[in-house]
Amino acid sequence: MEIKEFQKLIAERYQQRDLSRGTPKTFMWFVEEVGELATALADEKTTQKEKEEEFADILAWLCTLANINDIDIEKACIEKYQKNCPKGFK
């Protein structure tokens, strides 16, 4: 699945609810998911499957934020990292 396809899937499933929640509250959900990933990565007992689920949650919430802010993540990543590699990534 391409990033664009995943972002569209998230929009189809959740965009109405996400739009009504708005960016500030959605960003707080995203930050909470980042915290859950941090906890999972720090805990040696966390399984690979649990880590994968946390990474997936973060990508889903990032797509949600992009959707409600009219950002095409795939396009943005290509523009920033494929065409013009920023300093420190060479």
| 3-83 topology per CATH | Helix Hairpins (1.10.287)
For the segment 41-53, the average pLDDT, to the nearest whole number, is: 98
The full set of domain ranges for the chain reads: 3-83
pLDDT at 89 over 70: no
CA distance 72 to 74: 6
pTM over 0.85: yes
- Whose tokens are 């980042």? That residue is 34
pLDDT range class, residue 84, cuts 50, 70, 90? confident
CA distance 39 to 17: 27
Residue-wise pLDDT for 2-20, tens only, equals: 999 999 999 999 999 999 9
pLDDT at 22 over 80: yes
